[in-house]
Structure 1
């Protein structure tokens, strides 16, 4: 239901955008967009990177800014942009603006309204009534639910929405933290189902992304995809976290990468630090390097290619990591 001028000024065409099969769609998108003078791009960071890499592969340009000299901004959402920031700097080849948006099939919830910020302004006038469940009560049978007037800055909440589209007290599956209440500003901290708390460590995606950024900075690495899960205790053996990282640029020293990653998690998550003390509950992280396109191949095998599908970053069981380890052999 967009105005006609949107289709005139947008690429790819509506016909291509509505294609179902991902590989055919990717080829068609590439064929169309490489002929255009693109000024802004919008999408999920992981899938947009796949598209931009394909575009460069089919042209003679060294970076995207040579192909699209008027590119000024990337509007992104769906997953955290933090692990991809350096990759985008390299592939685009110049400084552009990056703005996060928070939308889903259920509604449009937030926008980054300030440059160089990692917060989003909560949209209060888009036909959505918001409620929030504190994450420390999320698994209770009758958890406390608070409205906007009672939220606390810095506390992790599961977001509940009621909309004029017909949703009633619907859990969208995201967790957020408020950074301001005047106006209401939020950060997305993860998913209600995607965390690791097998040993009481309460590891959230924001912890992992912060540690991953630090480890990459200190070892000149770059990660395109990853997932983590617990290794459960056996008799006298402690547990651990097991990770698969797919690197665009491998670390100078993998052992150093693991140490920085582990130590930064300790520094920002006291529960994780307590469980890692003397390796009593949690041993040092187990890290595997993924072969190229491991996660892409895994999603393809499940028929889940495309922007609506994302790699689960964290899991409290081994539902995702075991099949990936098998594929990685």
Structure 2
């Protein structure tokens, strides 16, 4: 990271491009990590651009374009995964100021301008027409003779289709509110078509468990200020214990770790130990075993669910919060 300290603008131009930070078509990439990287890199790059303006230096055009691209992709990611997004709460900018950055990007990149319109205002779509669909990509992970194609329709819903050589594209009738839901449904059908798969039940479970997980994704940016972080953590932990699919466990492991981090953050803000917060913050009793695993899960969230550039700062914050002698005998 030495180059980041000595030449941050050059480092970000190489390492903070959205295509390096987010993978829209791979549901196995943690949602929390990708959102955190987009939000943090946007704020960091914007600060670099602002510093140049304050010093009357010549604007670095590439850096300004990167800032605007990160703004667009932060908005796109929130729509893609159905995450509630307040520009002011997440970036410190008023919505109109944030959208100026988004607009600067879409004015330069026609495909992204079209995609933004399809996901929002739909000036170019047959609005409310489920049969008018913009193709957004093909599944990079599926195998076999059938290709999965994804799109967004006139209801702003996510759709999928199966494509086989020599046959017309056939769109599935179901509209999904987020991409992962469409992806799981598509892969279930792909599995059935390609192999008459006995593992179809695994996909059915994954779809059901994602419905529960998606509620946490929606609240991603509100979690840090959640009024009852302990209760949310206990509920998510219970839901994880019931997950039977591999994908459901993957999603809820990340969610539980994020909830654990939120509990630590709440303790830090209140100047309390984890033990104090657990005693007073949950309607149900919380065992000492759960208390002891909280900080471990919070550290896992820092390692796998946040921007690596924040890791030193966040690990130091976790070190400052005491577990509480009564429950675990120390940190």
Q: TM-score range by the shorter chain?
A: 0.3 to 0.5
Q: TM-score, structure 1 length as denominator?
A: 0.35
Higher RCO (C-alpha 8 Å, min separation 6):
2
Q: TM-score, structure 2 length as denominator?
A: 0.35
Structure with bigger helix share is 2
